[in-house]
Amino acid sequence: MKKHYNSIKYSKEDFEDFKSGDNTALGFTYQTFYEYVCGILHFKYKANIDECNDVYGDAILKFQAAAMNDAVIYGNIKAYLTKVAVNVLRQNQRDRISHAKKYELFLSDQINKSNSYVNDDFEIEDEQRKKLIEAVKWGMTQLGELCRNILTDTIIKGLKPGEIFKNYNYKNARVLTDRKVKCKKHLLELVKKKIKE
C-alpha cells in the first residue's frame, strides 16, 4: 500500500536549524525527504538510483543555499524540493554538463570509478586537471582561516555577503565583499604560482 505524503514530518524548528547551515540538520533534511523526492524521480521520471541520489543531492544543496540566503521560508517544502529536483533532472538530461559538474565527476572518479549515468566528454587532460585541483587545494591551505571561511561561504556555498556579514562581525556587506575580493586575488596568485612550479 502506498504511503500518504502526510507521513513526512518536518517542523519549522527543523527548517530553522537547516537554514542556519548546521550539518546535522542538513543530514536530517536529506533523510526526511529522500523517499518522497527520489520516489517521484524514480517511479515517475524513470531516473535510476544513481541518478536519483546525485540529483537529489544537488537539489538539497540548492535548497540549502536558497534557505541560507533567506530566499525561501518554511512552507510546503517537499513540493518545492521536488520541483527543484525535477528541474535539475531535466537540465541534466537536456543540457550540456556544467563546468563544475565535470570537475565533480572527475573528483568522484578519483575515489570511486562508478559514475555510470553521465557521459563525461571533458577534454582537458587528466594531468592538467589534477595539477589544477592540487594547486587550488594547496592555495586554500595557504590562506588564513578567515579567508578560507569567506571563500567557502561566498563562492562555494553561494551565500550572499548581505546575508552573512554579521557572522564575521563586519559592519556591512561591503566590508565583507572587499575582504572576499582580496582573499580571492590572493588565492589566484597562489594557484598561478603552484601551477608554474
Q: Is 172 in the site for other proteins (CB under 8 A)?
A: no
What's the start-to-end Cα distance of the chain, in Å? 63
- Dihedral (Cα; 109, 112, 118, 120), 10-degree rounding: 20
Q: Considering the complex, what minimum distance in angstroms separates the CB of residue 126 from other proteins?
A: 11
Q: Considering the complex, what minimum distance in angstroms separates the CB of residue 27 from other proteins?
A: 5
Q: Which helix (H) or strand (E) holds 195?
A: helix 173-196
**Nearest residue to 101 via CA among 124, 85, 120:** 120
Q: Is 166 in the site for other proteins (CB under 8 A)?
A: no
Q: Is 57 in the site for other proteins (CB under 8 A)?
A: yes
Restricted to residues 100-159, the positions that interact with other proteins (CB under 8 A) are 100-104, 106-108, 110-112, 130, 132-134, 136-137, 140-146, 148-149, 151-152, 154-158
The residue with cell 527543484 is 84
| Total of chain residues touching other proteins, rule CB under 8 A | 102
Q: Considering the complex, what minimum distance in angstroms separates the CB of residue 41 from other proteins?
A: 7
- Nearest-Å Rg of the Cα atoms of the chain is 19
Select from 18, 19, 43, 173 the one that contacts other proteins (CB under 8 A). Answer: 43
